[in-house]
Amino acid sequence: MDWRDAGLIGVLYDVGIEHRWLGLIGGRAVWGADLRRHYRDIATLGSSAGRGARVLDVPCGGGVAFRGIPRDGSWRYVAVDLAPVMLRRARAVAERYELANLALTQASVTALPFPGATFDLCLSYFGLHCFPDPAAALADMARVLRPGGLLRGTSVVRGGGRRQDAAIAVLRRFGVFGEVGTAADLASWLEAAGLREIAVDRDGAVAYFTARR
């Protein structure tokens, strides 16, 4: 599936992540994971970078991370997604939260339209497994991070169990998912991107990752 043309599938995918109770049910039922950690991670975003931080959110989806960012405009926040439907949903969320200093940009994650060393923090929540080339995506995220900048996110990975791997295979067959690696693959992609202080922690078929430029 070309995510630029994401319609109903894209909206359903986003709704499942955006609504906490649906995310928790789906996380346990489909991925064998407790997604409370994911929502806690978003809730504590405000303490992950100081005032004036330049933050990139890719893919932003429908703006699930927006609930955790400062609403006083102290961050310069850029939300990127390939799908127009996701950007429209994200814009509605930004308006609802009255977020300042937030820009929405349509772009590919492997060709981010920003100079190198632009951002202090890069977020990538539940999008990596949808990309045809996650290693290339991480390499471009690393490129736009300043030295010392932090990357943090979540991704579905293989190796969480037979049922979870079967679900991944089905979603790949229908084009919803792209290349999906294991937690070890994810760590190797982060290292190949030139990142350091890499941490990858798997819960079921969900991996939480952080790395520094």
Predicted local distance difference test score (pLDDT) of residue 15:
65
Residue 33: inside a domain, yes or no?
yes
pTM equals 0.92
**Does residue 52 sit within a domain?**
yes
Assigned domain for 172 exists:
no
Question: Looking at residue 191, what is its pLDDT?
Answer: 98
Does pLDDT of 179 surpass 90? Answer: yes
Assess whether pLDDT exceeds 60 at residue 29.
yes
Q: Which has the closest alpha carbon to 3: 138, 157, 110, 145?
A: 110
Instruction: Examine residue 173 and state whether it is found in any structural domain, yes or no.
Output: no
pLDDT of residue 16: 59
Residue 120 has pLDDT above 70, yes or no: yes
Binning pLDDT at 50, 70 and 90, where does residue 133 land?
very high
pLDDT for the residue numbered 4: 53
Residue 174 in domain: no
Report in angstroms the alpha-carbon separations of 206 from 8, 126, 181: 24, 9, 11
What distance in Å separates the CA atoms of residue 203 and residue 79, rounded to the nearest whole number?
A: 27
The predicted-structure confidence for 1-14, as pLDDT tens digits, reads as follows 555 555 556 566 66
Q: Which residue has the tokens 């991996």?
A: 207
> What is the domain extent for residue 85?
3-166+180-212
How many whole angstroms separate alpha carbon 18 and alpha carbon 10? Answer: 12
Note whether residue 171 is domain-resident: no
Overall domain count for the chain: 1
pLDDT, average across residues 45-56:
91
Q: Residue 21 above 60 pLDDT? A: yes
Q: What is the pLDDT of residue 22?
A: 83
Q: What is the pLDDT of residue 17?
A: 67
What phi, psi does 78 have (nearest 5°)? -120, 120
* 175 lies in some domain: no
Question: Percent of the chain beyond pLDDT 70?
Answer: 92
**CATH number of domain containing 195:** 3.40.50.150
The per-residue pLDDT for range 185-204, each reduced to its tens digit, is 999 999 999 999 999 999 99
